[in-house]
Amino acid sequence: MKTLDYLVFPSQEKTISVETDDVYGGAHHYSAKTSLGFYDGKTIYTPDEVIIPFVKKEDDGSVIAGLQSEQLAYILLYRATKLNNRFPSAQNAKMIEGLNMFLDACRERLQERIERGVMGELKK
């Protein structure tokens, strides 16, 4: 696993890793440290990790089961909406707008691939 340079503000601890491969360089299998939240001025992480696999179609046509990007985005959208219902803020609204923009782009990409007849195939 390769540790990614992404930092969850305000922490300076790198908590996300990806399994690298020769084809994509790493795009299908992630791990992230779990958190206990923000206490005494810093984010507390545990040594425990959550594994996040994404669906992967191999060059030979076989498929490794996993999440679709949209599923993860819908989870984040649902969470942001529920949190915004309790603690409304301009930042929460911005997160919700950004997730909806991401999901719209996913739909557009899939529709375009369906129309071109390459959906489900490893073609540009």
Residue 122 has pLDDT above 80, yes or no: no
DSSP classification of residue 123: -
pLDDT, position 82: 97
* 10 DSSP assignment: T
Using CA of residue 90, residue 92, residue 94, residue 97, what is the dihedral sign?
negative
Q: SS3 for 60-112, per residue?
A: CCCEECCECHHHHHHHHHHHHHHHHHHCCCHHHHHHHHHHHHHHHHHHHHHHH
Asked if the model's pLDDT at residue 15 lies above 90, the reply is yes
Domain ranges of the chain: 1-67, 68-118
* Dist. CA 23–CA 13, nearest whole Å: 28
pLDDT at 20 over 80: yes
**What mean pLDDT value characterizes the chain?**
94
Helix 69-86 with 90-116: angle, nearest 10 deg: 160
**pLDDT tens-place string over residues 25-82:** 889 999 999 999 999 999 999 999 999 999 999 889 899 999 999 999 999 999 999 9
Contact predicate 102/73, CB 8 Å? yes
Say if residue 123's pLDDT is above 90.
no
